[in-house]
Amino acid sequence: MTTDTFKDIEHLESDLWDAADNLRANSKLTAGEYCMPVLGVIFLRHATNRYNEALREIQADQAAGKMPKRPLSTADFKKRRALMLPKEARYDKSPALQRTGSHISASRKQGGIVRR
C-alpha cells in the first residue's frame, strides 16, 4: 500500500468517527439503535453500485449483439449477481438521502462536525 492509500484510509476513518459523533449528538438514537439505519444506507449504496455495474454489462452485451434489445427482467440482473432496482429505490435517487446529503454538505460548509 502506498502512503496515499494510508492517508485515504485515515481520512475515511476520521470521517466515519465524525459521522458517528454527529449521529450521537443530533439524534435521539443510541449507538446500538442507529446501526440499523446506517447499515441500511450502506446496503442500499452497495445494491445501487451492483445494479449500475450490471446495467453497464447488459448495455454492452446488447450493443455487441450478445443479448437482444428488449425490456429488462429481474433474471437479467440476477444472472449478473445484482438486484433489479426500480429508479426510486436507488441510492442516488432517494429523496430522503438527498435531503440528508444536503444537510451534510451544509454542515461541512459551516464547519460542523461532519467534514470532508
pTM: 0.65
pLDDT of residue 35: 81
pLDDT in tens, 62-106: 999 999 999 999 999 999 999 999 998 899 887 766 655 544 444
CB 15 within 8 A of CB 107: no
How many angstroms separate the Cα of 22 from the Cα of each of 13, 14, 27, 104? 14, 12, 8, 10
pLDDT in tens, 17-70: 888 788 778 888 777 787 888 888 889 999 999 999 999 999 999 999 999 999
CB 115 within 8 A of CB 20: no
Stretch 10-16: mean pLDDT: 85
